[in-house]
């Protein structure tokens, strides 16, 4: 039952926002009593903490799997972006913003975990790209991986990028292209252009 509550809560938080969903909403949606929820989670903060952790682990496992497929590094980044967008429901309810505002401690620890996972993933991606001759040899890998992480998290700031002007899927595509155009070689640019063209068809 705990797993079912976690799955449903995570789904509702992503679709409606961490602040918006109450324990009553969750109980009604699942057709169970609030008492049942409280027997597994002492309060809403505990539930938010576990559901963000649950989501984080699912996404990390999915990213690890994509990286294990040994695709070319440019394709790999597009696959990861697609996978993350599906899992985050295109971030319709700006969950990151609500998490940051109403649960800052949970947000802080989540961001630190996110940074570790992304840093390893992006560093590996850059090294592979350099080895394959599709990213420039003279890149400062540490700088590029950190600036990439900063950008990915900053584009989710709705005060900077209001959703009505910058739909999340488009924003992620634009950011990924911006990142890649700065680091590819002419060989990499051909791969990038063919992926972008096939995505537009």
Q: What are phi and psi of 157, to 5 degrees?
A: -85, 110
**pLDDT of 153:** 85
Cα–Cα distances (Å) from 50 to 29, 32, 56, 101, 106, in that order, read 19, 19, 10, 18, 10
Rounded CA-CA distance 55/52 in Å is 5
Rounded CA-CA distance 186/174 in Å is 19
**pLDDT of 163:** 82
**pLDDT of the chain, 201 residues: tens digit per residue:** 999 999 999 999 988 889 889 999 999 999 999 999 999 999 999 999 999 999 999 999 999 999 999 999 999 999 999 998 888 765 555 677 788 889 999 999 988 898 888 888 999 999 999 999 999 999 999 999 999 999 988 888 888 998 889 988 889 999 999 999 999 999 999 999 999 998 776
**pLDDT of 167:** 87
**pLDDT of 31:** 95
**pLDDT of 92:** 56
Domains located in the chain, CATH noted = 49-200 (1.10.357.10)
Tokens of 3: 């797993």
Tokens of 146: 């950190």
């Amino acid at each position: 039952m705990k797993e079912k509550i976690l799955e449903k809560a995570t789904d509702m938080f992503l679709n409606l926002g961490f602040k918006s969903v109450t324990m009553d909403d969750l109980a009604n949606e699942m057709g169970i009593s609030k008492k049942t929820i409280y027997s597994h989670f002492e309060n809403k903060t505990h539930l938010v903490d576990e559901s963000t952790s649950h989501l984080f682990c699912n996404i990390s496992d999915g990213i690890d799997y994509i990286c294990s497929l040994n695709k070319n590094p440019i394709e790999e980044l597009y696959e990861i972006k697609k996978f993350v967008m599906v899992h985050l429901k295109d971030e319709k309810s700006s969950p990151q913003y609500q998490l940051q505002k109403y649960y800052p401690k949970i947000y802080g620890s989540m961001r630190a975990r996110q940074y570790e996972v992304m840093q390893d993933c992006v560093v590996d991606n850059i090294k592979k790209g350099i080895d394959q001759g599709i990213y420039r040899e003279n890149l400062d890998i540490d700088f590029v991986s950190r600036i990439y992480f900063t950008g990915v998290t900053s584009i989710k700031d709705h005060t900077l990028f209001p959703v009505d002007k910058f739909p999340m899927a488009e924003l992620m595509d634009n950011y990924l292209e911006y990142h890649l155009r700065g680091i590819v070689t002419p060989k990499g640019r051909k791969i990038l252009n063919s992926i972008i063209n096939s995505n537009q068809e």
